[in-house]
Amino acid sequence: MTEQVEGFDLVVIGAGAGGLTAAMYGARLGLKTVVLEGMMPGGQIINAEKIENFPGFPDGLLGADLAPLIERQASAAGAEVRMFTEVESLESQEPYLSLSTPEATFRAKAVIAATGSDFANLGVEGEEEFRGRGVSNCATCDGAFFLDETVAVVGGGDSALDEALSLTAFVSNVIMLVRGNEFSGQAHLQERVRENAKIDIRFGHTVTAVLGGDAGVNGVRVKDAGTGEDSTLDVAGVFIFVGTDPRSSYMSGFIGLDGGGHVETDVSMRTSSPGLYAIGDIRSGSARQLVTSAGDGATAAISAHRYIESRSWPE
């Protein structure tokens, strides 16, 4: 059986805000463009309870509402979006780039990698055992399962602060466990968290184990950095927001990654491989914000268009 090969000017890997913006710009510039998304379009913003820092929406909006709007713009511009198409590997077939998926091989003049990131794990006892049974990375998805219960939120950045606030709509009490001595998230989120009577903030506390039984999570073991003492907190759920890991494994072996799995780019989002661009969370130095990912996408698409126009391509 002959392998199916599909040819495009531009292939965008990932349909988050950055990838869809890149696809919209690419298509508007006249490039035959396809977006390959392993799951559903939208990326992590789909689960955001309220996005308040994206320009043009002063009252904020649900991530589940914003993602379809960006997808609609990309499709209206002429980009094709294919869901449940996971890119497994990337290689050079000069002058083209070749992407392998379970269904087909895609040949592209330029590729924009926009696969985002996954939530990082704590790496402690019980975390994987109780995932889906009290351990979660999504308050919007799972908060309602803990109605009038006490839960723990681990982390001190934007995601942790935002999700802690979202949880207060369901739970009786949120215990925030922050490894450092202060939050690292945005000031206005910090203020809202500090003012919320349902949120108990505990700085200098590290989770060393997630505890539970047949019914799921029933506690966490924590260490107090100040006293060195271990203690157990009774909680029904643990929501973990301690950073992210880039989804870049499909590029391993094709292009060099830094120690954290990120891709080095220049200001035009170009990587060391001609025709390959990286945007958003997977690139080194990313601000990891929705608006900057969208900006990266526009920059990469314009760069890719210039690259394609500057070369001669065989028929």
Q: Which residue shows structure tokens 């969208």?
A: 294
Give the domain-ending residue among 219, 240, 261.
240
Tokens of 179: 């490894």
| Mean pLDDT, rounded, of the chain | 93
**Whether residues 109 and 126 fall in one domain:** no
Residues 96 and 140 in one domain: no
pLDDT range class, residue 2, cuts 50, 70, 90 = very low
Copy the structure tokens of residue 204: 């200098």
Report the pLDDT averaged over residues 49-65.
86
Q: Does the bond joining 68 to the residue before it have cis omega, within 30 degrees of 0?
A: no
Instruction: Write down the pLDDT at residue 272.
Output: 93
- Count CB atoms within 10 A of the CB of residue 287: 12
d(CA 150, CA 140): 16
Query: Is 68 within a domain?
Result: yes
DSSP state, residue 174: E
Please check whether residues 248 and 108 belong to one and the same domain.
yes
Closest CA to 282 of 242, 249, 253: 249
Q: Same structural domain for residues 209 and 134?
A: yes
Lowest-confidence range among 156-165, 186-195, 252-261?
Answer: 252-261
Q: Looking at the structure, tell me whether residues 52 and 106 fall in a common domain.
A: yes
Characterize the bridge pairing of strands 117-119 and 244-246. Answer: antiparallel
Please, is 292 exposed, middle or buried when counting C-beta atoms within 10 Å of its C-beta (0-12, 13-18, 19+)? Answer: middle
d(CA 228, CA 84): 47
253 in the same domain as 235: no
Catalytically active residues, by annotation: 138, 141-142
- Say if CB 145 and CB 237 are below 8 A apart: yes
| CA dihedral (182, 129, 166, 247) positive or negative | positive
Tens of pLDDT, residues 224-241: 999 999 999 999 999 999
- CA of residue 2 relative to chain centroid, distance: 36
- In this structure, is residue 18 part of a structural domain? yes
Instruction: Report yes or no on 158 lying in a domain.
Output: yes
Shared-domain flag, residues 135 and 104: no
Nearby residues of 224 by Cβ (< 8 Å), 6 or more positions away? 204, 205, 230, 231
Whether 227 and 289 share a structural domain: no
For residue 223, give its domain range. 121-240
Residue 99: predicted pLDDT = 96
Q: Name the domain boundary from 194, 220, 240.
A: 240
315 belongs to a structural domain = no
Q: Is residue 173 part of a domain?
A: yes
Compute the average pLDDT of residues 267-290.
Answer: 93
105-135 per-position pLDDT tens digit: 999 999 999 999 988 999 999 999 999 999 9
Euclidean distance between CA atoms 133 and 258, whole angstroms? 34
Query: Can you tell me the distance from the alpha carbon of 204 to that of 208, in angstroms, rounded to the nearest whole number?
Result: 13
Question: Which residues have C-beta within 8 Å of that of residue 292, sequence separation ≥ 6?
Answer: 280, 286
Tally of structural domains, the chain: 2
Q: Are residues 17 and 111 in the same domain?
A: yes
Cβ neighbours of residue 31 under 8 Å, at least 6 residues apart? 8, 9, 10, 110, 301, 304, 305, 308
The answer to whether position 60 is within a domain reads yes
Q: Provide the CATH number for the domain around residue 147.
A: 3.50.50.60
Given 240, 270, 289, the domain boundary residue is 240
Do 114 and 248 reside in the same domain of the chain?
A: yes
Is 233 within a domain?
yes
Flag whether pLDDT at 3 surpasses 70: no
233 lies in the same domain as 279: no
Q: How far apart are CA 124 and CA 34, in angstroms?
A: 40
3-class secondary-structure state, position 199: strand
Give CA–CA dist 315/312, Å, rounded: 10
- Same domain for 106 and 250, yes or no, is yes
89 located within any domain: yes
